[in-house]
Structure 1
Amino acid sequence: MTDTMTTRTGGRAARRAARAAPLAQHLRPVRPGLEGGLYRPLSDKGMADIHQAALTALEEIGLADAPASGVAHLSRAGAIPGTDGRIRFPRGLVEDAIAKANREVTLYSRDGRHDLDLSGTRVHYGTAGAAVHMVDALGRQYRECGVQDLHDAARICDVLDNIHFLQRPMVCRDITDNREMDLNTVYACCAGTTKHVGTSFTDPSFVADALEMLHLIAGGEDKWRERPFVSNSNCFVVPPMKFATESCLVMEACIEGGMPVLLLSAGMAGATAPSTVAGAIVQAVAECLAGLVYVNAVKPGHPAIFGTWPFGLDLRSGAMTGGSGEQALLTAGCAQMHRFYDLPGGAAAGIADSKLPDMQAGWEQMCSNVMAGLSGCNMIYEAAGMHASLLGFCHESLILGDDLIGQALRCVRGIEVTEETLAVEEIRAVCMGGPGHYLGTEQTLGRMQSDHVYPALGDRTSPKEWAERNKPDLIVKAALRKEEILATRAAARFDPATDAALRRRFNIHLPA
């Protein structure tokens, strides 16, 4: 009996050890690039109608306020400047740009381990935004955010499995000079994570300095151009249907420097975009198609992300409704249009209108994150940490968002139907002379990690066990996890020689 017990214990111990070891990436229950696309709020006719409406808007209404260089690029491509200051886009020009656009876009990471393949319906979640406040979750108050907060957010993102990229989620309010703010934003993000980084520039003249910084980080311009690990989030339009002149010049400079661009159209439904979901999508699609023509007129085939980001609006008050069902539909519908064109695309989801990581934030973040993933959106921005309709960012909420997005990704993965998963033979063995339950079967034990997502901080204990553990609070647990992450030196930090070179050349505000 002793020998038998030892053998059984050893077997259990071996299985526990195997479960404790990290799974290979392809065996994990959720991972970057899972394929979505099963949720389709738009019919085939609806997508075709939106496409035709967008073409009509571009051909008959066009966009105003293109910079002189943009008018030159677009005119050479076949766009038609009007005497009213608007430039119009013939249908054939737009359809040619769609046909010739780069569909094989990879957003590179600095370490090569977190590259993002944007083909098909592969789904990736990450941060974004320009929050001006940090949310103190424990103190239940807001304060202005700074460069250290941004660097800390990057460090946290670097260790979270379900946050696949870092787009700058906040503005460094403690740096008043715009050039220094833009450059320190790049430094703080890249020094905090090796995952792909997205950022913005406030002036086209700052792009050259940022590229010089990135060349130093990459080890040379040639290495940067081979694997550009930072992309430009570019609000190239001011809805409705106007180019943002300065941002267009930034975009041209980024394209010249080999930096991928996110063509970002962010109309507010009912204010700067039509109030209907379909109308807001039409305008966003039209504006991004104009951007696609623009990019390919500057440099054919340059990597660009079709960034339709229409936002919802509470028409009673004029407040943004990033956590609404309408927002979830806007994002899912836009993702379908990305697939309609077979273009790499991105949209916003996971925004909470709630001011704190509470129950309201949970339902708001989950609703749009799940729908965006199921719709097959390649890049889901603002997916974690964003509160107060993008005015506030919360580190603890970012950490909790990793759990939430894990569950969303499990929904995206869907249901695997094979002879093994149908489990007829397992049912037979359990029911006919077996134990009458599945708790110890080989399939249950063998697939418990590859099929199931377990929350890192979410509590699944019984009320009795919860009470015995002194009723742990979710926000407190997230705060402790934050302290644990930030107590360890950043794995993404630059080597001493590179950091010294960066500090000699630029005024870096973060302490060495």
Structure 2
Amino acid sequence: MTDQSPIRSGGRAARRAARAKPLADHLRPIRPGMEGGQYTPLTQAGMEAIHRAALTALEEIGLADAPASGVAYLTKAGAILGDDGRLRFPPALVEDALARANRSVTLCARDPAHDLELSGTRVHYGTAGAAVHLVDVEDNSYRECTLQDLHDAARITDTLDNIHFLQRPMVCRDITDNREMDLNTVYGCCSGTMKHVGTSFTDPAYIKDALEMLHIIAGGEDKWRERPFMSNSNCFVVPPMKFATESCLVMEEAIKGGMPVLLLSAGMAGATAPSTVAGAIVQAVAECLAGLVYVDAVQPGHPVIFGTWPFGLDLRSGAMTGGSGEQALLTSGCAQMHHFYGLPGGAAGGIADAKMPDMQAGWEQMCSNVMAGLSGCNMIYEAAGMHASLLGFCHESLILGDDLIGQAQRCVRGIEVNDETLALDQIREVCLGGPGHYLGTEQTLSRMETDHVYPSLANRSSPKEWDELGKPDLIRNATARKEEILSQRSRARFDPIIDKEIRARFNIHLPA
């Protein structure tokens, strides 16, 4: 046995070295775009009932407050403008738009390795929101967000395997001019990550300037239109059942500029949407169907994400409950409706009502992230970093969310059953004349990286080991990881010539 120990040690060292190397994408235990859809809280009859109710709402109630251009587009397509100023949608008009809608949308990234294919039940997790405060874990406080905070969030996102896209998660409160805020948001996000970016715009007049900047980054308008790496997150409705006039005009300009659009309906169940889960889904579906008809009327075939995004509400206090079981059901039910229509869709998951990254935040974020993933939601927005019911964003929580979403994705992947995974040969070998355990067997070692997800920061050591390691603290480790990431130059930074061109044209608030 003594003679064999160096060989065994060398074998272990070789295996450790092999495990340290990144796995090929097809061997990774989790990856973007895995198929969900195992969880189905709605029956087929339930989905059909929601669809019929949404069609009835569109035909009989309709939507108010469309801009003049929207009225022109929609009435030409077949919508009916009533004397009360509301646009009503005949079922045939809606069904025709559904028939023409894309069943698959690719959200491009500046790095094609991060392109997202939205179809079927393929699942992706990312950020989103419009937090006005940054969570400071050092002194348990909140302060206003800045452009630097947003840029740092983009840089952190770029390094995290399980955060698949960056939807602008916070508002730059240090820039008071709305045009400069929108343009600096584009700059701050795109110079921080090579992944797909989503953002909103406050005025349609700003789209032209934003597109000019995006054309410079892409290397020309033709290259931008070939691979648009930014999408417009568009709250085109003000629930219940009203168009958001200014946002609709933004949407029209984004469509003309070749920018994919997230049609976002964000009613509050019990306030601006019905209090029942089914009723809130009906209204969100009706509003997004109206948006789908709108986009189809402007430009048939334009890439659209069906963003049914209803939120939960604590009916005792009126507080938003983004971390509740009801929110998880709302998101999962919406995902099923996306599949019912065969449309690429997105909804909210991973929101914490907790003010800090604590135990409450953990259970709230995991509940909806797992259920949204299991339901096969294509785009799970607000999946990491969001606190205080979307009022606060936390860099440390974003980093911890990478671990949390890794475990959620492992649930999405499910259980593979085949001759190898049934492991009957292993059981026979171990039990009949073998060591009586599976530790260190060839099969265990060969599959430990492909079957299991290992957290980067979560601690799995024994109490004794934990004590010997100095009692590592999760939040402090996340802060250390944040500082490590931000100490390095962003791989998404622009070429100096491109950066100089952008700064000559626009007032960029980030230092060069």
Bin for the TM-score computed over the shorter chain: over 0.9
Contact 1:131 1:393 (8 Å CA) reproduced: yes
Shift in Å, 1:14: 1.4
In the TM superposition, 1:120-269 aligns within 5 A as: 120-269=120-269
Shift in Å, 1:100: 0.7
The residue number in structure 2 matching 1:28 is 28
CA distance in 1, matches of 2:5, 2:130: 59
For the residue of structure 1 that corresponds to 2:451, the secondary structure is coil
The residue number in structure 1 matching 2:318 is 318
CA distance in 2, matches of 1:302, 1:3: 69
**What does the per-residue CA deviation read over 1:81-103, in whole Å, with 9 as the maximum and x for residues that have no partner?**
11110000000110111111011
CA distance in 2, matches of 1:266, 1:342: 21
The residue number in structure 2 matching 1:46 is 46
The residue number in structure 1 matching 2:469 is 469
The residue number in structure 1 matching 2:504 is 504
For the residue of structure 1 that corresponds to 2:114, the secondary structure is coil
CA distance in 1, matches of 2:3, 2:167: 57
Contact 1:403 1:455 (8 Å CA) reproduced: yes
CA distance in 2, matches of 1:171, 1:42: 35
For 1:193, the aligned partner's letter is T
The residue number in structure 1 matching 2:407 is 407
The residue number in structure 1 matching 2:359 is 359
For the residue of structure 1 that corresponds to 2:281, the secondary structure is helix
The residue number in structure 2 matching 1:348 is 348
CA distance in 2, matches of 1:287, 1:83: 20
1:433 is aligned to 2:433: yes
CA distance in 2, matches of 1:337, 1:97: 16
Q: Unaligned regions of 5+ residues in structure 2, if any?
A: none
Shift in Å, 1:111: 1.2
Shift in Å, 1:16: 1.2
For 2:32, the aligned partner's letter is P
In the TM superposition, 1:291-302 aligns within 5 A as: 291-302=291-302
CA distance in 1, matches of 2:352, 2:217: 34
The residue number in structure 1 matching 2:109 is 109
For the residue of structure 1 that corresponds to 2:173, the secondary structure is coil
CA distance in 2, matches of 1:212, 1:142: 35
For the residue of structure 2 that corresponds to 1:361, the secondary structure is helix
CA distance in 2, matches of 1:505, 1:119: 38
The residue number in structure 1 matching 2:493 is 493
CA distance in 1, matches of 2:221, 2:3: 65
The residue number in structure 1 matching 2:445 is 445
**What does the per-residue CA deviation read over 1:38-81, in whole Å, with 9 as the maximum and x for residues that have no partner?**
00000010000000000000000000000111011111111111
For 2:471, the aligned partner's letter is K
The residue number in structure 2 matching 1:60 is 60
CA RMSD of aligned residues (A): 0.7
For the residue of structure 2 that corresponds to 1:193, the secondary structure is coil
CA distance in 2, matches of 1:462, 1:451: 23
**What does the per-residue CA deviation read over 1:384-440, in whole Å, with 9 as the maximum and x for residues that have no partner?**
000000000000000000000000000000001010000001100000010000011
Shift in Å, 1:17: 1.1
Shift in Å, 1:192: 0.1
The residue number in structure 2 matching 1:373 is 373
**What does the per-residue CA deviation read over 1:7-30, in whole Å, with 9 as the maximum and x for residues that have no partner?**
222222211111111001111111
Contact 1:106 1:118 (8 Å CA) reproduced: yes
For the residue of structure 2 that corresponds to 1:439, the secondary structure is coil
CA distance in 2, matches of 1:347, 1:104: 17
Contact 1:198 1:230 (8 Å CA) reproduced: yes
Contact 1:138 1:475 (8 Å CA) reproduced: no
CA distance in 2, matches of 1:102, 1:205: 28
For the residue of structure 2 that corresponds to 1:64, the secondary structure is coil
The residue number in structure 1 matching 2:290 is 290
Shift in Å, 1:2: 6.2
The residue number in structure 2 matching 1:274 is 274
For the residue of structure 1 that corresponds to 2:398, the secondary structure is helix
For 2:489, the aligned partner's letter is R
For 1:374, the aligned partner's letter is L
1:457 is aligned to 2:457: yes
Shift in Å, 1:109: 0.5
1:479 is aligned to 2:493: no
CA distance in 2, matches of 1:181, 1:151: 13
Shift in Å, 1:3: 5.3
Q: Unaligned regions of 5+ residues in structure 1, if any?
A: none
For 2:52, the aligned partner's letter is Q
Shift in Å, 1:4: 3.0
For 2:16, the aligned partner's letter is R
CA distance in 2, matches of 1:339, 1:370: 18
Contact 1:170 1:393 (8 Å CA) reproduced: yes
Shift in Å, 1:137: 1.0
CA distance in 1, matches of 2:271, 2:8: 67
CA distance in 2, matches of 1:186, 1:429: 59
CA distance in 2, matches of 1:58, 1:443: 57
For the residue of structure 2 that corresponds to 1:63, the secondary structure is coil
- Using the TM superposition, name which of 189-198 and 71-80 deviates more: 71-80
Shift in Å, 1:470: 1.7
Contact 1:134 1:143 (8 Å CA) reproduced: yes
For the residue of structure 1 that corresponds to 2:193, the secondary structure is coil
For the residue of structure 1 that corresponds to 2:197, the secondary structure is strand
For the residue of structure 1 that corresponds to 2:87, the secondary structure is strand
CA distance in 1, matches of 2:503, 2:187: 10
- Using the TM superposition, name which of 99-108 and 398-407 deviates more: 99-108
For 1:49, the aligned partner's letter is A
For the residue of structure 2 that corresponds to 1:186, the secondary structure is helix
The residue number in structure 1 matching 2:336 is 336
Shift in Å, 1:179: 0.1
**What does the per-residue CA deviation read over 1:145-182, in whole Å, with 9 as the maximum and x for residues that have no partner?**
10000000000000000000000000000000000000
CA distance in 2, matches of 1:171, 1:15: 46
**What does the per-residue CA deviation read over 1:161-206, in whole Å, with 9 as the maximum and x for residues that have no partner?**
0000000000000000000000000000000000000000000000
